[in-house]
Amino acid sequence: MKDMTVGTLIAVFEEMFGGVLFWMMVAVAVVVTVAYLYVLIRDRAVSWRKFLWAQLSMPFGAVAAVLFVLWVTKSHISDLGGPIDVIVFLGIAAMGAVGLAVLVYTAESLIWPAKDRLDGK
């Protein structure tokens, strides 16, 4: 791989996850992101209680993302070969943590809207 381009990255991820699973993950990420933006625009404020629950979910998202990648690639922790592997796994964990936090905040906001939305304001 001489140059790292978007096309190259897509090809690598499709090879790693399979085409169907990769594009399903992309679609889910787009839907959750659009829903998150909708919630932020609709509420015009951050609910700190929902934000706290979202932050508390982050460790679970980090662990789930690492376990998911290990399962998909049929690997084990003992297969880590060096510092770059650890850095990649830390990146995967960080993305999983942020992803679950956004999902939790969005789901909470869609299920339990802000109080002023309930009385028609």
Q: Are 98 and 58 in contact (CB under 8 A)?
A: yes
DSSP string, the chain: --S--HHHHHHHHHHHH-HHHHHHHHHHHHHHHHHHHHHHHHHSS--HHHHHHHHHTHHHHHHHHHHHHHHHTT--GGG--SHHHHHHHHHHHHHHHHHHHHHHHHHHHHHS--HHHHTT-
pTM above 0.75, yes or no: yes
- Please report, in tens digits, the pLDDT of each residue of the chain (121 residues total): 678 899 998 998 899 889 999 999 999 999 999 999 999 999 888 888 999 999 999 999 999 999 999 999 888 888 888 888 889 999 999 999 999 999 999 999 999 887 754 444 4
